[in-house]
Copies of this chain bind each other. A is one copy, B any other.
Amino acid sequence: MEFSNYFFASTEIIGIISASISGCIIARKCKFDLFGIMLCAILSSLGGGIIRDILIGALPPRSFYNYIYPLSSVITSLTVFTIFKILKNKIPLRQDLMRMLFLIFDAIGLASFSISGVQIGLESGYGNNGYLCIILGMTTAVGGGIIRDVITAHVPLVLREEIYATASLLGSAIYYFAIKLGVNQALSLYVSMFLIILIRLLSIRYKWHLPKGDEE
């Protein structure tokens, strides 16, 4: 299944790049040095996949076996770092612009990792346990962000944001059932990724949220 693998590899790389960018933006806000920025990008982008590989016992995790993973993240960080340096003297990088960029790349990362998580569950022989595959998608997707937020001393986005893990769960479920029903893999992948990003961004734009637990 060369085709499947090609699509799958692209999804993983898109996820790593997007999550690295989100890591860079938050690291820059925390005034980390270049190495801190790179490490934050690496943990944000590889953390979810490492957790996923530990959970299914695929050890050592992919990112520890193949240097392509951290390399993609390092190159992304260096690029983002350079762009920030150049832009700084040309146009102002306002906080709200940075916040918007952060949320967009975080959403793309969320979508890519959800699908890659489900896919690895399917390929690891757990195809009959839908619960496991879908939950693996969500864990891969939110894992890196949790590490990123804990390490930069923020309450994780997944706990603060209205529609986050829910978007990942929904997209993972759609992908899983589409594959099980025999829908074309590329189509399943694009539709479910697009849906996760759309739901996530619409929820930010229109401030969708679930009922709050209030504290008097």
Contact = CB atoms under 8 A, between A and B. Distances in A.
B33 A162 contact: yes
Interface in A13-28: 24, 27-28
Interface string A77-99: 00001001000100011000000
Nearest to A152: B155
A33 B211 contact: yes
16 contacts: A24-B213, A28-B215, A30-B159, A31-B212, A31-B213, A31-B215, A32-B160, A32-B212, A35-B163, A35-B164, A36-B160, A55-B59, A55-B61, A64-B132, A65-B129, A150-B150
Interface bracket on A: 35 or more
Which 8 A/B pairs are nearest by Cβ-Cβ distance?
Answer: A57-B59, A34-B210, A28-B213, A36-B159, A67-B131, A33-B210, A35-B210, A34-B211
Contact of A34 (B27, B57, B65, B213): B213
A162 B35 CA distance: 7
A34 B159 CA distance: 10
A57 B54 CA distance: 8
A155 B151 contact: yes
Interface in A166-192: 166
Contacts of A88: 214, 216
A1 interface: no
A37 interface: yes
A50 B135 CA distance: 13
